[in-house]
Amino acid sequence: MDEEKNDNMISLYQVLPPEIQCAVLWIIEHNEIVDYLVQGEKVPTQEIEDFIQKALEKKDYLMVVILIYKRVYDMNN
């Protein structure tokens, strides 16, 4: 990743609430596990959005980040 992209990612990360920052760090630290978990059948976008909304209501930010990771994974595979 070039320096400009890296700086942009850091800037985006820094404006996140602390709870979401922790969730993002967990994903980065456990990337291999998360990659394994998100493989498999694609989940319809609306279904993922519904799960994200429920996780937000419960303030389960780790689940939110995993679901977003899954959505991106499905879009790119």
pLDDT in tens, 10-64: 999 999 999 999 999 999 999 999 999 999 999 999 999 999 999 999 999 999 9
Please provide the distance, in angstroms rounded to a whole number, between the alpha carbons at the two ends of the chain.
Answer: 20
Q: How many domains does the chain fold into?
A: 1
Q: Is residue 22 part of a domain?
A: yes
Q: Is residue 7 part of a domain?
A: no
What is this structure's pTM? 0.82
Single-letter amino acid, residue 60 = D
64 three-class SS:
helix
Which structural domain, as residue segments, surrounds residue 37? 17-76
**Cα–Cα distance measured from residue 37 to residue 12, given in angstroms and rounded to the nearest whole number:** 25
Q: Is residue 21 part of a domain?
A: yes
Q: Is residue 2 part of a domain?
A: no
Cβ atoms within 10 Å of 23's Cβ, excluding its own: 20
State the pLDDT confidence band at 1, using cuts at 50, 70 and 90: low
pLDDT at 2 over 90: no
- Residue 33 buriedness (CB in 10 A; 0-12 / 13-18 / 19+): exposed
Q: Is residue 1 part of a domain?
A: no
pLDDT at 70 over 80: yes
